[in-house]
Amino acid sequence: MPEPRHTATRPAGLLTGRNVLVIGAGTRPSDDPKAPVGNGRAVAVLAAREGASVACADVSPSAAAASAALVVEEGARGLPLVGDATDAGQSSAMVADALRELGALDAMVVNVGIGLGAGLANTSPQQWERVLSLNLTAPFLAAKYGLPAIADGGSIVFVGSVAGLRAATDSPAYDSSKAGLFGLTRHVAKEGAPRGIRANLVVPGLIDTPMGREASARRASRSASFTRIPLGRQGTAWEVAEAVTFLLSDRASYITGQSLVVDGGLNAV
């Protein structure tokens, strides 16, 4: 399936010589031949375009391989890694493999998430645990094992959601887990600061990705929200990736413990 290509900006070499691990680098499968790229894959490709070598980790072997191949197409080194980010042993192994194969690790992006349940009454304890495991425990594990492995002066970026700012969905587990990322980001920033390692959170709004389209199909309220976006449209995964790449780069050298909302003004107006 051909992937949409990002041509809005000219590469500036923001990540030249850097080694980046992207956890959740795949894109959700879709039967739509015109399906948009997902956030994780866009981040991997744009990081490569800006000069980085990229380890593309995903629970799906085919998704990891496809993202790594796109990184190689950009003229960079792409390394596919497979692992379950919710499993402590596999999370640790992904970091160790990226460090060993790339020779050093300068940055990490954590892009994972799922939403289950509909209201408190229709969210089972099992669904709650599943969502919290992927949306909050997995980023915790990535930080736990990634922070010691990242070189001094490096960067960590988590990808969250505007659902962490307000009760934006029907899933109490999703909203709660995304809210928890704000606290995790601040804590990682505090622990990383003595070594000059920055940690920040990108907070996407209504983004046109395969996961976003699936959510819109399930919830009419999500589609209705499009008309309330001040900029008049959904965002793209490439625009999320631009924010992530900025925070990974030296242009954000004095920014840590912060959240960067990418939502077309939805939560501001």
Active site positions, annotated: 174
Helical ranges in 74-204 per DSSP H: 88-102, 125-132, 138-149, 172-192
- Which H/E stretch holds residue 64? helix 61-73
Contact 77, 248 (CB under 8 A): no
Tell me the C-alpha distance between 221 and 224, whole Å.
Answer: 5
Q: Is 24 left (phi over 0), alpha (psi -120 to 50) or beta?
A: left
Q: Dihedral, CA atoms, 125, 22, 68, 3, nearest 10 degrees?
A: 70
For tokens 């962490």, the residue is 164
Tokens at residue 120, please?
């408190």
